[in-house]
Structure 1
Amino acid sequence: MQRHFRHGGVSPRSARLRGQSIIEYVLIIAVIGLVIVFAGPGVAGAIRNQFNQVTNTVDSGADGGNFMSAEEKAYREAMKTVVNKDAKDWSLGEQKAAATDIAKNGTSSVVYAKAKAAMEAGTKFSAKLTNGKTLEYRIVGINHDDLADGSGKAGLTFEATNAVLGAQRMNATQTNAGGWEQSELRGRLNSGDLWSLLPSELQSKVKSVKKMTDNKGGGTAGTPSATTDKVFLLSTTEVYGNLQSDGAQYEYYKSKGVTTSSYSGASSSSNHWARSVSPGNSAYFRSVYSNGDYYYSDATYASYVFPAFSF
């Protein structure tokens, strides 16, 4: 029997030369020439190698563009326009560029204030899925999630606001053993059929992040452990605050004053899964009601999926 209950029941970048004027390069080349005249053959050879690197930098432009990755080049190009646009009009590439700049510069980023205002206003973005449906999503976190590779924070984290991924079960059997880490739904979101619904342009921009969750389940509370996820569900702590020690409340929900007793700011279009287990029960995961309250459902229950991801 399928049941659900309200909660009232139970990489560092390559070094590059930036901003030098042509006059500075001419002076550098002149000094190198003088040194080569008086240096021995070995030293002269090493200096010539450095000369060639400087020459290549000049040939490619003073910003050292030939040392940049394709991702960084795209970021720099997008930033030329993103600072002048209203956040609601940011393209997918511009959302990525904004996230990259915020991760790099924090509150000093030229787009930090725009992103924060868009988050607090609940500004929605959209992407066309491979099945033709449109995913709507909003910013819920700024410099919130830790990148899985340990290189810092993801600049922006987004959460879906509509139910186009459909109603899905968490597991094929009524168990929460292994928690989010071992769940069927997590596998489908990160590499299976639900992942494949995301357009390739979005997939290529998603950053893998580290998510902390009680992954024990089985009716006994466990110590939170980390998983690496490209796509994930929010935990109930990330929505309501310090509920279960599985993460920290996202900035969007904090700005709305969401708690377990004041939850209208978490209301949405549909009931949807959280990734948190019910620690005192072996079959239930937590979910978020459309009115913003949280409740429990057994793992085989079909609840809607609001995926989250980070850039």
Structure 2
Amino acid sequence: MDAATGGATGEVGREAEGDGSTSGEMAEEEADPADDVPQVRAATADYSWEELSQISRLISSAGSDAEGIEVARRYHLCTEDGRLDGTQTKSLTLSDGTTVTMQVAGFNHDQRADGSGPAGITLVSRGTVASRAMNEGDETAGGWRDSDLRAWMNGELASLLPHEVSSVIAVVNKPTNVVGETADASSVVMTQDTLWTLSYSEIGGHMSTDDSAHDAVFNAEGEQYKLFSDLGTSWDAGNQHLQIAGVEYWWERSPDPLDGRYFMCVGPDGTPWYARVPSEVQGVVMCFCV
């Protein structure tokens, strides 16, 4: 979500869908159809969505997180030293013409809702896919679970995905505070989502202040994604990688446990520590797993 490359609705991504051919030097391995192992290509953008789904299964079936990252490294889904730096991207065009750049956010991070284990690859849009209110009214009770934005993302927005994407997406469990204002971490429950937007802790990492009870609510909404950890994103500081050109604020799925009037947002300076009333129209960042 670099300010220099992020964009609002309708942004044309830099990467085009590849046909399997790339220019320049490229490491290749012959695929074994029996093993359903895709050919190694030069960059994330060069894989089909089906191939990314196949690689995801290889990552999720690896014996450890380290082995999963090694699979990702071999397929050029991270840097040679195993990091995510925001360049692992693939362009996606919705059926309404909106084009957005998806970037790899993490590996084996999200658990499949059917109980079959982790989804190997999570992606997050660098730009926004729309501008929407979290709720038509200013309710925060029910949190992301009962929000109008969640219903829209998992309904109308999901229907705009091309078949080659929707056919490989995994439904996953997402932790979410369903009370709103609360100091009780048990208020965080799992929702099952095809598409979602990020939580405060998934962006900024573990929160630690003098208010340990409210910190626990924030922290219960998920671990920080590898992308944001590798980019040095913090819950209490601005980060250029979270800035989106032309977008002042974009939604997080976290209601503010400190104040029942608000949901959390990433602000103009790339700090995740902002809060807005749910009826305001803000940018929507999209996440999904393959």
Does the TM-score normalized on the shorter chain lie above 0.5?
yes
Q: TM-score, normalised by structure 1?
A: 0.70
Aligned partner of 2:147: which letter? S
Aligned partner of 1:309: which letter? F
* Partner residue in 1 for 2:72: 112
Task: Give yes or no for contact 1:145–1:209 (8 Å, CA) kept in 2.
Answer: yes
* Partner residue in 2 for 1:95: 52
Offset at residue 64 of structure 1 (A): 11
Aligned partner of 2:172: which letter? V
Q: Deviations over 1:135-158 (max 9, x none)?
A: 211011111111111111110100
* Partner residue in 2 for 1:15: none
- Greater CA radius of gyration, 1 or 2? 1
Tell whether 2:101 aligns with 1:133.
no
Tell whether 2:283 aligns with 1:300.
no
Separation of aligned partners in 2, 1:297 and 1:278: 9
* Unpaired stretches in structure 1, ≥5 consecutive residues: 1-62, 66-72
Tell whether 2:193 aligns with 1:215.
no
| Aligned alpha-carbon RMSD (Å) | 2.1
Separation of aligned partners in 2, 1:236 and 1:304: 15
Q: Give 3-state SS (helix, strand or coil) of 2:38's partner.
A: helix
* Partner residue in 2 for 1:188: 152
Q: TM-score, normalised by structure 2?
A: 0.75
* Partner residue in 1 for 2:259: 281
Q: Deviations over 1:195-225 (max 9, x none)?
A: 22211221111101111111111x3344211
Offset at residue 166 of structure 1 (A): 1.6
Aligned partner of 1:195: which letter? A
* Unpaired stretches in structure 2, ≥5 consecutive residues: 1-31, 208-217
Aligned partner of 2:279: which letter? T
How many residue pairs are counted as aligned between the two chains?
A: 234
Separation of aligned partners in 2, 1:122 and 1:288: 21
Aligned partner of 1:108: which letter? E
Separation of aligned partners in 2, 1:267 and 1:188: 23
Offset at residue 162 of structure 1 (A): 1.3
Q: Give 3-state SS (helix, strand or coil) of 1:100's partner.
A: helix
Q: Percent identity?
A: 29
Of 190, 198, 201, which aligns to 1:234? 198
* Partner residue in 2 for 1:3: none
Which aligned pairs between 1:199-278 and structure 2 lie closer than 5 A? 199-217=162-180, 219-222=181-184, 223=186, 224-243=188-207, 244-245=218-219, 246-264=221-239, 266-269=241-244, 270=247, 271-278=249-256
Aligned partner of 1:233: which letter? T
Separation of aligned partners in 1, 2:85 and 2:223: 17
Which aligned pairs between 1:47-196 and structure 2 lie closer than 5 A? 76=36, 79-81=37-39, 83-105=40-62, 106=64, 107-108=66-67, 111-113=71-73, 114-117=76-79, 119-163=84-128, 165-190=129-154, 192-196=155-159
Separation of aligned partners in 2, 1:166 and 1:87: 24
Task: Give yes or no for contact 1:119–1:138 (8 Å, CA) kept in 2.
Answer: no
Separation of aligned partners in 2, 1:155 and 1:204: 16
Task: Give yes or no for contact 2:44–2:89 (8 Å, CA) kept in 1.
Answer: no
Which aligned pairs between 1:15-54 and structure 2 lie closer than 5 A? none
Task: Give yes or no for contact 1:258–1:265 (8 Å, CA) kept in 2.
Answer: no
Identify if the C-alpha distance between structure 1 residues 120 and 130 changes in structure 2 by more than 3 Å, giving closer, same or farther: same
Offset at residue 121 of structure 1 (A): 4.0
Separation of aligned partners in 2, 1:242 and 1:265: 19
